[in-house]
Amino acid sequence: MIMTDTQTGAVTLHVLAEKFAVRGRAGFQANVGQEFVLDSWHLITQEAIDAFETACEEPGARGQPVVPGFMTLGLTVKLFFDTFDVQGFGSFLNYGVNRMRLPHPLMVGERVRARVKIMEVREVSAAIDVVTQLVFERDGAQKPVCWAEWIGRGYETRTHPGQGCTP
């Protein structure tokens, strides 16, 4: 389903039944300004919260129903790749976050998904940076649980300079 602006007729949101295929640099550049959301949700479980807190040695109250903020932010990459089938790169990695806010808590048993807007594509040496805005929607809620400006970095080759790792 595609939603359009009633005044201009411009596409404002692509609601997807399945991942949207983006092929290489040109695929991202062609979709700058477009927003996408997958028409499915990710369920937050207590087991996932407990595993996160154990792995990160977070001193939070284990067994509590509130999702730690960094776990919510950690869903950025998963929700991005749930939305996009990124093709044409040797590797496409998490490069970081410019800005992030957690305006409302996410609780165990709630379902979340991300609206992803491609904001900018920048050339950097042997790669590109894809700057995206992700708004984490909670099923049935008016306000988002997280807002993040995330950068994905795409390398044409499998090994990228300075990192020495592959996906």
Structure tokens at 75: 């869903």
pLDDT (tens digit per residue) in 47-65: 888 888 888 877 665 566 8
Q: Is residue 165 over pLDDT 60?
A: no
Beta bridge partners of 96: 151
The C-alpha R_g of the chain, in whole angstroms, comes to 17
Contacts of 94 (CB under 8 A, 6+ apart): 76, 77, 150, 152, 153
Output the pLDDT for position 59: 65
135 neighbors 144 (Cβ within 8 angstroms): yes
CA 145 – CA 136 distance, rounded (Å): 6
- Of 33-42, 58-67, 84-93, 103-112, the one with minimum mean pLDDT is 58-67
Q: Is residue 35 over pLDDT 90?
A: yes
Output the pLDDT for position 137: 93
Output the pLDDT for position 120: 97
Annotated domain spans of the chain = 2-155
Distance of CA 135 to the CA centre of its chain: 8
Q: How many CA atoms lie within 13 A of 77 on its CB side?
A: 11
Q: Is residue 9 over pLDDT 60?
A: no
Q: How many C-beta atoms surround the C-beta of residue 36 within 10 A?
A: 21
Q: Could you tell me whether strands 84-87 and 146-155 are parallel, antiparallel, or unpaired per DSSP bridges?
A: unpaired
CATH classification number, 2-155, choose in 1.20.1250.20, 3.60.15.10, 3.40.50.720, 3.10.129.10:
3.10.129.10
101 neighbors 150 (Cβ within 8 angstroms): no
Higher local confidence (pLDDT), 117 or 163: 117
